[in-house]
């Protein structure tokens, strides 16, 4: 049986991010965006400007991370 290991290049060697890691980053960013939207809505409902502001900040951070993920994967 011949050794064909020299014919293959690993993701580690190329510096390529594994697809599972790419998805994980997008999922975390999306969850952050969703949680931020929920906090913002709760803040509006209970008339708490601080909670609303924190939610908006978290949502915007999640959206930025999603944009970065999309740009990285192009």
pTM above 0.75, yes or no: no
In whole angstroms, give the CA distance from residue 13 to residue 6.
12
Residue 24: inside a domain, yes or no?
yes
Is residue 12 a part of any domain in this protein?
no
The answer to whether residue 23 is domain-embedded is yes
pLDDT tens-place string over residues 8-48 = 888 788 888 777 777 888 899 999 999 999 999 999 999 99
Number of domains in the chain: 1
Instruction: Give the C-alpha separation, 39 to 33, whole Å.
Output: 10
Asked whether the predicted pLDDT for residue 1 surpasses 60, the reply is no
Tell whether 52 is covered by a domain: yes
- Residues 62, 33: contact at Cβ < 8 Å? yes
Q: Give the structural domain span for 57.
A: 18-72
Asked if the structure places residue 6 within a domain, the reply is: no
User: Which residue, 70, 62, 69, 65, is CA-closest to 34?
Assistant: 62
Q: Is the pLDDT of residue 3 over 90?
A: no
Task: Identify whether 36 is part of a domain.
Answer: yes
């Amino acid at each position: 049986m011949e050794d064909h290991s020299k014919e293959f290049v690993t993701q580690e060697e190329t510096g390529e991010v594994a697809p599972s890691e790419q998805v994980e980053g997008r999922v975390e960013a999306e969850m952050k965006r969703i949680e931020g939207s929920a906090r913002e809505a709760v803040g509006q409902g209970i008339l708490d400007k601080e909670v609303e502001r924190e939610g908006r900040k978290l949502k915007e951070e999640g959206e930025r991370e999603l944009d970065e993920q999309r740009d990285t994967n192009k």
